[in-house]
Amino acid sequence: MNRQRWMGVGMLALGLATSTQAASPTRLLQSPVLSATHLAFVSGGDVWVAPRGGGKAVRLTTGTGIEQAPSFSPDGQTIAFTGEYDGNTDVFTVPVAGGVPKRLTFHPAADNAVGWTPDGARVIFRSNRDSASRYTRLWHVSAGGGAASVLPLPMGSAGTMSPDGKSIAYTPQEQGFSFNHTRYTAWGNYRGGLTGAVWITQLDGLKTTKVPSEGGADFSPVWLGGQVYFLSGRKGPVSVYRFDPASGQASLVWQNRGSDIRSLSTDGKQLVFDRLGTIHTLTPGSEPVAVNIDLDGDMPDVRPRVASVAAEVRDVALSPTGIRAAVEAHGEIITVPVKEGMIRTITATPGTMERSPVWSPDGQSIAYFSDESGLYALHVTSQQGAGKAVKKYALAAEPAYYSDPLWAPDGKHIAFKDNRLNTWILNLATGKLSAAGPPDEFGGFATAARGMAWSPDGQWLVYARVSGNHFPVLMLHDVATGKATQITDAMAMASDPSFDRDGKYLYFLSSNNAGGTIMPLDMSSDVYQPTMSVWALALAEGTPSPLAPELGDEKAPPAAAAPDKKADPKKPAAPAITPIRVDIAGLSLPAIGRRLTALPLPVADYRNLVAGKDGVLWLLRANEPLDVDADERPGATLLRWQLEARKPRPCSTRRNSSACPPTAPNCSSAPRPIRLANPPGWSPMPPSRSRPAIPIPASKPMA
């Protein structure tokens, strides 16, 4: 059956097996602002208003788009906000008592509400309508509507005017981390030239003072008592600071010890901010007070319902024999048959995220990562589905995301990576978690290390690690001793390791011209087209080169195996796992290098090397150089390289299809190139079939 088709059926089965029990979801309250009598905030992409001291909240906006960034007029009777009612992002106002929103801006550029002038006559907003690059300016428009005018500032992202209207405290550019419902950036540790800063400018004469900075981002300035209060990450978590224009000194108001504060506002008497979805008020000199909000509504995004999750497939893993596949979608794990069979739900856990399924070597168990306990742990359960016992393994003590699980062939260990640049090995018998070796030295936008493989006997793990010069090298971990040895030189980039099935050789890809592409964020790397070669490493001393000349001598017949008298002839014998021999310990890199052999494949852009049976390799080769301006990545040809023939042979199918090309009578007799590509917007659902749907429990909001 077509891969796309059975994956789609699996999504339907997931919905039918998902529990619909629902607990009341936690509300996420953001961007609070105060008036003398009310508190306004954003939740679920709508603007809400509640009594100033908390209590029952009422929803003011219900547009199909996102409404955000509310701000009270000085008299407290009107709220300005950013809305998407007409398909564009514009500034609107609505009475606090409720009513029809009024649109104030009509430019096709995105206009985002920022605040009000002190007299309440005009609304301030930011827009890139006349920007020459990636920045915005602050504008103002009459509260009754009309043409907008720009403030005399070269650029501006957010700010508030002083009570007398003579000065403005503002941030010229958006800080390196921010949140709204349509754009999220999280460069919290950014300390470069565009770090958020607070400026105070006198509008008459444009005399400007910069609030002293200490490296962290400064943002959300507001006026209170003649001083400018603002948020800053200069000393740990984002906390509240103030700046005295008279003395020119900045000082700490309240040191935050928890999650970062996202926004700061004031009514001129008291500060209000949100932290981790909870609203707090703060009177300078005292501690913050949480505001209890009673928020009830129809909440269409979190109610129990049937919804398509075809676009939410995040991971797929084939069973050892390829007859089933485990699929991660919408935080659940299911298994689906490739041809005939039952579709099973492995997890049915509203409110819990399960990720990255992997099959055990015998196909009887499935492991996956789960955040059920608050920190991600590894869970192992039967392939029979939900309701079976689940064995749970705690992982690292610090919060982390885990990925790329790989089960050892002997079934005793699972290796995986985390977003802290570590590679881990978990002993399934003891639950002991061990580092496979030193972590990557770099992450972020640098080219990531690619590839990890177990030896056939499960006693050796090879993984790619980013070294000090940004080139990935291969590390070989000995399970028996817990030691890791570097086996490739950092002068070349190594990736995609794979043991052959008899454990004699370790194959991998290597490139010595990829240096210019290690940092892909730098556009200068776009002009380089690196190539890869295929190498083989003899693991044991005395193992000949895979390209050694054939002597043509007669070979001795193999010795007959003694029959096992205790074996039950009615039961198939379990395949024996033969220990492999590795003689690497104590060798220098030059000595290991003398065991390397470059295989006679032409250099090309290779990927996804996998060793098959003795002397057979499978790998992908890009059909054409990568064009960074193209709408999609280039297709690839699947190659089968055999040691006996010593030349790659393309295998055949067409893009996204298992059918042979028209010129081939059948796939087995007339191999042709396989073109592999994922077009933009590709999903595992065929366009000719309806997209399946699943019930979504109320306690598990859509991601």
> SS in 3 state form for 318-369?
ECCCCCEEEEEECCEEEEEECCCCCCEECCCCCCCCEEEEEECCCCCEEEEE
- Residue 589 tokens, joined: 């890199």
**How far does Cα 329 stand from its chain's mean position?**
15
Q: Which domain holds residue 100?
A: 30-294
| Number of Cβ atoms within 10 Å of the Cβ of 395 | 18
- Residue at 680 is within a domain: no
CATH number reported for the structural domain that contains residue 71 in this entry: 2.120.10.60
- More confidently predicted of 552 and 176: 552
Q: Percent of the chain beyond pLDDT 70?
A: 82
Distant-in-sequence contacts of 238-241, Cβ < 8 A, 24+ apart: 238/262, 240/264, 240/271, 240/273, 240/282
Phi, psi angles (nearest 5°) of residue 311: -85, 0
pLDDT at 69: 95
| Number of Cβ atoms within 10 Å of the Cβ of 565 | 5
Q: Poorest-confidence range of 54-68, 93-107, 202-216, 613-627?
A: 613-627
The H or E element containing residue 8 is helix 3-17
Average pLDDT, the chain: 84
- Residue 448 tokens, joined: 């990531």
- Residue at 614 is within a domain: no
Q: Poorest-confidence range of 368-377, 419-428, 542-551, 628-637?
A: 628-637
- Residue 146 tokens, joined: 């009309």
- Residue at 52 is within a domain: yes
What are residue 241's DSSP bridge partners? 230, 252
Each residue's pLDDT tens digit, 394-409: 999 999 999 999 999 9
Q: Poorest-confidence range of 179-183, 545-549, 615-619?
A: 179-183
> How many angstroms separate the CA atoms of 9 and 351, rounded?
24
Each residue's pLDDT tens digit, 205-260: 999 999 998 888 899 999 999 999 999 988 889 999 999 999 999 999 999 999 88
Answer yes or no: are the C-beta atoms of 234 and 243 closer than 8 Å.
Answer: no
Q: Poorest-confidence range of 342-351, 470-479, 490-499?
A: 342-351
- Residue at 577 is within a domain: no
- Residue at 517 is within a domain: no
CA nearest to 103, candidates 89, 116, 114, 117: 89
pLDDT at 629: 57
- Residue at 266 is within a domain: yes
- More confidently predicted of 550 and 227: 227
Each residue's pLDDT tens digit, 4-37: 333 443 343 333 333 333 344 467 899 999 999 9
Q: Is the pLDDT of residue 568 over 80?
A: no
Answer yes or no: are the C-beta atoms of 694 and 311 closer than 8 Å.
Answer: no
Answer yes or no: are the C-beta atoms of 455 and 580 closer than 8 Å.
Answer: yes
What are residue 576's DSSP bridge partners? none
pLDDT at 310: 75
- Residue at 48 is within a domain: yes
Torsion of CA 661, 663, 666, 670, to 10 degrees: -100
Each residue's pLDDT tens digit, 592-631: 999 999 999 999 999 999 998 878 999 999 887 666 556 6
- Residue 107 tokens, joined: 């430019």
- Residue 399 tokens, joined: 């919060």
- More confidently predicted of 86 and 449: 86
Number of domains in the chain: 1
- Residue at 211 is within a domain: yes
Rounded to a whole number of angstroms, the CA Rg of the chain reads 31
